[in-house]
């Protein structure tokens, strides 16, 4: 009898530990605080280069919040391949907002962790490891199609 109550006690303790560990994660996900959340926030940014301005809405993830904490920011924007412009950040962002996604499309604002740069997609692309989506451009991202290298100003709206 003693050994079965010890076993029951161990099972109860183990079950309690598992429940305690699991429920905060479940609650956090339900509240929209998933580290890789791609839910828009009210945080808007403006990017100005080459006499043009585009705005974007950031997502609710740690990487996007880390990026917003750097603003305002002056940098250089340049073409990379045929589908994106890039700009390097003064420091690397947290990767806590990372996670795979499969709904890539032009107009995505991403962070490429291995190189420490923003990737501003104006053409089709595919998710790759290290790519963290920070937000989406509002409305028109046509200024990204302007080829060349330009001074860039990024600020909160």
| Interval 129-134 mean pLDDT | 94
pLDDT at 13 over 80: no
Range of the domain at 19: 1-31
pLDDT tens-digit profile of 64-80? 999 999 999 999 999 99
Same domain flag for 66 and 109: yes
Same domain flag for 16 and 66: no
**C-alpha span between 9 and 126 (Å, rounded):** 51
Residue 110's domain is classified under what CATH number?
2.40.100.20
Number of domains within the chain: 2
CB atoms within 10 A of CB 18: 10
Question: Which range has highest mean pLDDT (23-27, 114-118, 139-143)?
Answer: 114-118
Closest CA relative to residue 49, chosen from 91, 83, 79: 79
Same domain flag for 58 and 13: no
Same domain flag for 132 and 111: yes
Alpha-helical regions (H) of the chain: 2-30, 62-69
Residues in the chain: 157
**C-alpha span between 116 and 110 (Å, rounded):** 11
Same domain flag for 94 and 67: yes
Model pTM score: 0.76
pLDDT at 17 over 80: no
DSSP sequence for 47-66: EEETTEEEEEEEESSHHHHH
- Beta strand 131-137 pairing with 40-49: unpaired
């Amino acid at each position: 009898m003693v050994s079965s109550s010890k076993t029951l006690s161990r099972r109860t303790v183990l079950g309690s530990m598992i429940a305690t560990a699991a429920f905060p994660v479940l609650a956090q996900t339900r509240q929209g605080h998933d580290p890789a959340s791609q839910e828009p926030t009210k945080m808007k940014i403006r990017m100005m280069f080459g006499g043009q301005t585009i705005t974007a809405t950031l997502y609710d993830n740690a990487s996007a919040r880390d990026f917003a904490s750097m603003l305002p920011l002056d940098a250089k924007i340049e073409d990379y391949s045929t589908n994106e412009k890039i700009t390097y950040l003064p420091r690397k962002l947290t990767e806590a907002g990372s996670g795979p996604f499969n709904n890539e499309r032009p107009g995505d604002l991403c962070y490429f962790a291995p190189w420490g740069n923003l990737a501003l997609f104006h053409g089709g692309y595919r998710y790759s490891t290290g790519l963290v989506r920070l937000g989406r451009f509002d409305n028109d991202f046509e200024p990204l199609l302007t080829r060349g290298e330009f001074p860039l100003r990024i600020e909160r709206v």
